C-alpha cells in the first residue's frame, strides 16, 4: 500500500519524489536502494490495478498510484543520471561497454517518463470513473511495470554490484 505519498502541491524540483520518507533522506546509495524498493512496491500496486480491470477497480488506489508515479520515477532518474552514472564513469574499473550501457539506460529513463505521463492520465481517469479503454489501459500498465522491473533488475545486477558511496 502506498502510504508515504505527500498530498502537498507538486514541487518543481527534479529531486522531489513525493514520498515523505525518501524526500527526508540524504541522497546516497542507500537512498537509491530504498527508492528502488518504493518503485517496486508501486509496480505491485500497478499490477493489482491491472488485475482488477475491468470490474473490480479500486478508484482510490488508482488516484494514489497516479500521484506517486511521475515524481518517484523522475526523482530516481535524476539521482542516477547526476550522481550514480558520473561516479561509475569516473571509476578506474569502468569498461568501454559502460558508456553505451549508460546511454541506453538514460534512453529507457526518458521512455519511462513519457510512458508514466500517459499512465498517470489513464489512472486519473480510472480513479474518477471516466470511460477508458480497459484493454488498452491493462496493456499499458503491464508494459510499464514489467519494463520498470527489468530496468531495476539490470541496474542491480550489472551496475550496483560492488558500488559504494
Contact, 69 vs 42, CB < 8 A? Answer: yes
What is the nearest approach in angstroms of Fe ion to the Cβ of residue 112?
Answer: 8
Residue 16, CA atoms < 13 Å, CB-side half-sphere? 11
Q: How big is the CA angle at 14 (ends 108 and 35), to the nearest 5 degrees?
A: 65
- Contact code string over 30-69 relative to Fe ion, x by CB under 5 A: ----------------------------------------
> What is each CA distance from 93 to 137, 152, 154, in whole angstroms?
43, 21, 18
Quickly list DSSP for 52-117. Answer: HTTT---HHHHHHHHHHHHHHHHHHHHHIIIIIHHHHHTSTT--TTHHHHHHHHHHHHHHHHHHHH
Q: Which stretch binds Fe ion (CB under 5 A): 19-27, 34-42, 72-80, 140-148?
A: 72-80
Determine how many CB atoms are found less than 10 A away from the CB of residue 47: 15
Helical packing angle, 98-127 and 29-52, nearest 10°: 40
Q: Which of 125, 119, 122, 141 is nearest to 50 (CA)?
A: 141
Q: Toward Fe ion, which CB reaches closer, 25 or 147?
A: 147
- Contact code string over 93-132 relative to Fe ion, x by CB under 5 A: ----------------------------------------
Q: Toward Fe ion, which CB reaches closer, 142 or 149?
A: 149
Q: Toward Fe ion, which CB reaches closer, 38 or 80?
A: 80
Q: Toward Fe ion, which CB reaches closer, 45 or 80?
A: 80
Q: Which stretch binds Fe ion (CB under 5 A): 46-54, 73-81, 115-123, 125-133?
A: 73-81
- Contact code string over 75-94 relative to Fe ion, x by CB under 5 A: -----x--------------
What is the nearest approach in angstroms of Fe ion to the Cβ of residue 44?
Answer: 18
What is the nearest approach in angstroms of Fe ion to the Cβ of residue 108?
Answer: 7
Residues contributing to the site for Fe ion (CB under 5 A): 80
Amino acid at each position: 500500500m502506498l502510504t508515504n505519498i505527500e498530498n502537498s502541491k507538486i514541487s518543481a524540483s527534479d529531486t522531489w519524489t513525493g514520498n515523505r520518507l525518501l524526500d527526508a533522506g540524504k541522497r546516497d546509495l542507500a537512498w537509491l536502494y530504498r527508492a528502488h524498493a518504493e518503485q517496486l512496491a508501486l509496480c505491485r500496486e500497478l499490477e493489482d490495478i491491472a488485475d482488477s480491470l475491468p470490474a473490480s477497480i479500486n478508484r482510490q488506489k488508482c488516484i494514489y498510484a497516479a500521484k506517486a508515479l511521475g515524481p518517484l520515477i523522475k526523482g530516481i532518474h535524476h539521482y542516477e543520471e547526476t550522481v550514480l552514472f558520473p561516479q561509475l564513469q569516473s571509476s578506474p574499473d569502468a569498461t568501454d561497454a559502460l558508456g553505451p550501457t549508460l546511454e541506453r539506460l538514460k534512453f529507457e529513463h526518458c521512455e519511462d517518463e513519457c510512458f508514466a505521463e500517459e499512465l498517470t492520465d489513464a489512472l486519473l481517469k480510472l480513479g474518477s470513473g471516466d470511460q477508458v479503454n480497459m484493454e488498452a489501459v491493462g496493456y499499458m500498465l503491464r508494459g510499464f511495470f514489467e519494463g520498470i522491473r527489468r530496468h531495476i533488475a539490470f541496474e542491480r545486477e550489472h551496475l550496483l554490484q560492488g558500488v559504494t558511496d
